[in-house]
Structure 1
Amino acid sequence: MVRLFIFLLVVLGLGWGFSWLADRPGLLSITWQDHLIETSLMVAATMVVALIGIVMLIWWIIGIVWTSPHSVRRYFRARKRDRGYQALSTGLIAAGAGNALLARKMSVRSRSLLRADQEPLILLLDAQAALIEGKYDDARAKFESMSNDPETRELGLRGLYMEARRLGANEAARQYAEKAAEHAPYLPWASQATLESQSRSARWDDALETLAQQRAAHIASRSEADRLKAVILTARAGARLESDPAGAREDATDALKLAKDLVPAAVIAAKALLRQENTRKAASVLESVWKLSPHPEIAATYIRARSGDSTLDRLKRAEKLEALRPNNVESLFAVAQAALAAQDLAKARARAEAAARMEESERVYLLLADIEEAETGDQGRIRYWMSQALRAPRDAAWVADGFVSENWLPLSPVTGKLDAFEWKVPFSQLEGPVVEGRLAADETIAALPPIAAAKPAPMEPTRRSEPLEPKIVPKPQEAKPAPEIAVAAKTTAPEKTAPEPDKTQESEPEAVPFYGRPPDDPGVKDQNADPTKTRLRLF
């Protein structure tokens, strides 16, 4: 654009100059070696301009002829470089696709067309081809040479880090990550790996510094950085709880400022305050988190905040939690447990049944079994609640990467990821053989052909817990000897109709409790009851 503007200015200047000369005609005389040359001013100016143009053209031709060998060499060099980059691009694509043969072929071709010291991607292609071929030693050697070059240091350290992780050399991987983070703190993988290794070795102060560097380098957003910082502060508070309760309280309080619903931070802060005999402040911290996220650990810490409280005092504290979050499963369960301990069985049963209506779980049915044992001692109903607990969904727990832990941990023991634990139902029961069996049964039923209409078969009378005593009325005949009576009974038996069931017993509506139907287990038999009749009366 600038060149075009300059060209237009030159053309306009020449046009203006020639027009100025045309408006002012004149005669130009030149005497040279007894010769007189006369011409007009316009012709003289035109000849000067033409002469200048001819000189420039001759100079351009001389320059082309003079630099032609270099131009030819540069052309062939550019063509060779283009072929090399084409081979390099094809090789990298083949390495990414897993084509080891083509990747190695393109690596050799690109090395013959390009210089490795001028194009570091050739080393990367060689390393990737070696990894695909299973030559891990050669690949590590390539990565080592790349890590020594300042231009490819980050790429080489990345390759060495991945190889160390593949071999399970966690210490070597940590060193490579820390070296990469030292030279380039803006690398997400190096910074994250360094943060995880520092957390795994419980170096919480160094982890906080690394997290601050991530925040400054804009690797993590503000919300993510605040959440990770809260987790690290909670972990440091848990480590300092026994030796330094004041420091643990400060760390846990700072963590709650960053993540208000972080349950472990609230529990640790409350325990630290209780060690400092500040029960009111501990209760306030637990209540604030309970309003946001009801949790069994918060309820247990809140109810047992004072060791000298009676069971009735603990029941009142549980009811206070219920008032903060009414119609909540955790609130109902906490009150039911406290009421059972205080021997208020009616309240315990009411709260436990309400919790079972809202959410079926193993712990609720086990609590109902304990209540049943304390109130009635009915073994049949106790066994029923136990069987319901076996079939109920599992209780929620701290889960991270398929690992179930009784207590919260700051990082996953499987992958080492920070803030990996979640309070949820483990996946083992959801993905177990029961669900697979149901799916397989549904598919089998769907694949079956339709059932043809058939004549219904006669139904046999349902066996009851108390045997029926049908009465067979004999035909009015004369008395016969005993053997003949037996024969007559055998011949007339098929003609007899089946006894009708007791309609009075079926017509009475059965009381169906909220959990389904009455227990199948009849319980313990009463030894003082009259023995039931088990023989059929023919006459």
Structure 2
Amino acid sequence: MMKYLVAFLVFIVLLAAMLLYVGDDATLLLSSTSGKPPFALPPMELTWQAVILFGTAFIVATITLWSVLLWIWRLPRRLKSGVGMRKRNRAIDAMEDALIAGAEGDMDRARKASARVRDLTGSTDLGRIISATAAEACGDHEEAVAHYTAMMDSDKTRPTAQRGLAQSKLATGDLPGAVEAARDAFDQNPRARWAFDTLFKALVADYRWTEARDALDKGRAAKHVDGSLYDRRKAVLLTAEADYWLDNGQHDKALQLAQAALKHAADFAPAAVIAAYELARAGGQKKAASLLERAWASHPHPALAIAYLDLYPGESVETQGGRIDRFIAPEPDHREARLLRVSHYLRAGDPVEALSILSPMLEEETPTARLCLLAAEAERVLGNRVDAALWTERAATAAHERDWSDLDPDGPGFDYEPQDWRRLIFSFGDTGELVHPRGDRSKAVRRPTPDPERDPLRLAGPDESAQDDEDDDLARRFDDLLDGSGETERD
């Protein structure tokens, strides 16, 4: 508004300046040379000030008249636009009400608001989208599916309907329906990331490993998954399929799939163990050993060591020790390599050598249940019943760590159930983490309050002091053993 006022004042100032400049002495004489009426006019004499004022008034009047006529011309459209704007605002309010009611779980209110949206906008498609969204928010997947199914008849809303159908059916456990809807959408538009994700999840949830591999290949071609994510997921899918054929007696096919999995992820222990088992079953112990050695060099894992030792049953302790040394040679200082040697020395009945490796580990890290049990076994072999009991007690509350020896020790290892493979596809596939099928407890548990009368093996005093005493006592006795100064007496 201010800029218009300034412009008007500037115009007045300029007009006044012009009138002053011209003055009232200068005149303009108008005459006609025609002798015929009505063009025969007598001479007219006007001052220039009057001419300027009349000209200015004419221009202003012309602009004003044009503006009035233009306003009258646009009036019907303005009236219609105003009505439409009010209707549009009411439709927006109805959409907000429908979505809020859906979020609150009030399905009746959501239905009424969705009906108002259809009436106000005149768009059936928009009304169905709002109705389906509100139904999903309320958790009424059946009604949502009904609206999405109706939306399939419109070319405009078909992609939205496909996505809604696929996700609703996946949420309700209708895996075949989710696969059908997602696959249809993905085939029509490979760039739709949601279609790939939903299709892959539905196929994996339905244990359809081969079809999931095919979908994964298409997803990589469409650049929905990068190289490492693709390779890890592909390795798990191939190994899961190998395990399936192994259970059904198709050993050649199982071996082929497991070896293919290792090409995508050389550090995937289940694939290496299954491939080694199949090779050894056919008499190829050397090939199996070489395969496990390469897998260990890529990423040491306790299950690989178990499978490696299973290749040569009945060997003497000395022979087995040499074989272990060759096996861990690429990574001799790796934590798993050190624990493998500890277990070997305990089997050989040499707790002193076992403790020489185990003691630094107990000092370097907070002992897990696995380390505590190894220490307890070493103490038991030494005849230290009290210390063995203390380490066993600490194992009960320490952070849990699997040694993977519980996975079908008499068979191929990694005898997972389909749901275990399904979990691995996303855990190992997405993060590279190889989880145990029976889960892990990675944090320590609070130690219960000791009762000396009921638990005479408990040391008196706070837990931390008792733990320090245990570690110091273990170190002193270990030094005595190495120095040959005698055995530590225990009750």
Return the TM-score normalized by structure 2: 0.63
2:380 matched to 1:373? yes
Corresponding residue number in structure 2 for 1:112: 119
Corresponding residue number in structure 2 for 1:261: 267
Pairs within 5 Å for 1:183-198: 183-198=188-203
Q: Is the 8 A contact 2:399 2:441 kept in 1?
A: no
Corresponding residue number in structure 1 for 2:472: 512
Distance 2:307 2:435 in 1: 20
Structure 2: state its 5+ residue gaps.
1-68, 405-412, 450-468, 479-488
Q: Is the 8 A contact 2:401 2:440 kept in 1?
A: no
Select the residue among 326, 337, 349 that pairs with 1:343: 349
More helix by share: 2
2:427 matched to 1:420? yes
- The Cα shift of 1:145 comes to 0.6
Corresponding residue number in structure 1 for 2:147: 142
- The Cα shift of 1:300 comes to 0.9
2:162 matched to 1:128? no
Select the residue among 205, 210, 221 that pairs with 1:216: 221
- Percent identity between the two aligned chains: 27
- Provide the secondary structure at the position in 1 that maps to 2:252: helix
Deviations 1:320-340 (A, max 9, x none): 234321222211111121222
What amino acid is aligned across from residue 356 of structure 2 in structure 1? A
- The Cα shift of 1:317 comes to 1.8
What amino acid is aligned across from residue 265 of structure 1 in structure 2? A
Deviations 1:402-434 (A, max 9, x none): xxxx948597669867232534696646386x3
Pairs within 5 Å for 1:4-153: 86-92=89-95, 98=103, 107-117=114-124, 120-132=125-137, 137-153=142-158
Structure 1: state its 5+ residue gaps.
1-63, 399-405, 439-508, 525-539
- In structure 2, relative to structure 1, the CA distance for the partners of 1:129 and 1:205 (3 Å cut) is closer
Deviations 1:435-481 (A, max 9, x none): 9x99xxxxxxxxxxxxxxxxxxxxxxxxxxxxxxxxxxxxxxxxxxx
Q: Is the 8 A contact 1:361 1:394 kept in 2?
A: yes
Select the residue among 318, 327, 337 that pairs with 1:321: 327
Corresponding residue number in structure 1 for 2:443: 430
Q: How many residues are paired up?
A: 374
Q: Is the 8 A contact 2:98 2:114 kept in 1?
A: no
Corresponding residue number in structure 2 for 1:231: 236
Q: Is the 8 A contact 2:276 2:291 kept in 1?
A: yes
- Provide the secondary structure at the position in 2 that maps to 1:513: helix
- The Cα shift of 1:316 comes to 1.5
What amino acid is aligned across from residue 293 of structure 2 in structure 1? E
- In structure 2, relative to structure 1, the CA distance for the partners of 1:107 and 1:357 (3 Å cut) is same
Q: Is the 8 A contact 1:252 1:268 kept in 2?
A: yes
What amino acid is aligned across from residue 234 of structure 1 in structure 2? T
- In structure 2, relative to structure 1, the CA distance for the partners of 1:266 and 1:113 (3 Å cut) is same
Deviations 1:199-249 (A, max 9, x none): 344433222211122122222223322221122112122223463433333
2:294 matched to 1:288? yes
Select the residue among 355, 366, 369 that pairs with 1:362: 369
- The Cα shift of 1:175 comes to 4.0
Corresponding residue number in structure 2 for 1:270: 276
Distance 1:109 1:347 in 2: 81
Corresponding residue number in structure 1 for 2:162: 157
- The Cα shift of 1:370 comes to 2.3
Distance 2:363 2:444 in 1: 24
Q: Is the 8 A contact 2:385 2:490 kept in 1?
A: yes
Distance 1:414 1:308 in 2: 32
Deviations 1:124-157 (A, max 9, x none): 1122334456665543332221123232223223
- The Cα shift of 1:287 comes to 2.0
- The Cα shift of 1:313 comes to 1.8
Q: Is the 8 A contact 1:234 1:251 kept in 2?
A: yes
Corresponding residue number in structure 2 for 1:41: none
RMSD, matched Cα: 4.2
Q: Is the 8 A contact 1:92 1:103 kept in 2?
A: no
Deviations 1:286-319 (A, max 9, x none): 2222223211101111222222422322222222
Greater C-alpha radius of gyration: 1
Structure with greater contact order relative to length (CA < 8 Å, sep ≥ 6): 2
Distance 2:166 2:352 in 1: 62
What amino acid is aligned across from residue 473 of structure 2 in structure 1? P
Q: Is the 8 A contact 2:273 2:307 kept in 1?
A: yes
What amino acid is aligned across from residue 139 of structure 1 in structure 2? A
Corresponding residue number in structure 1 for 2:307: 301
Return the TM-score normalized by structure 1: 0.58
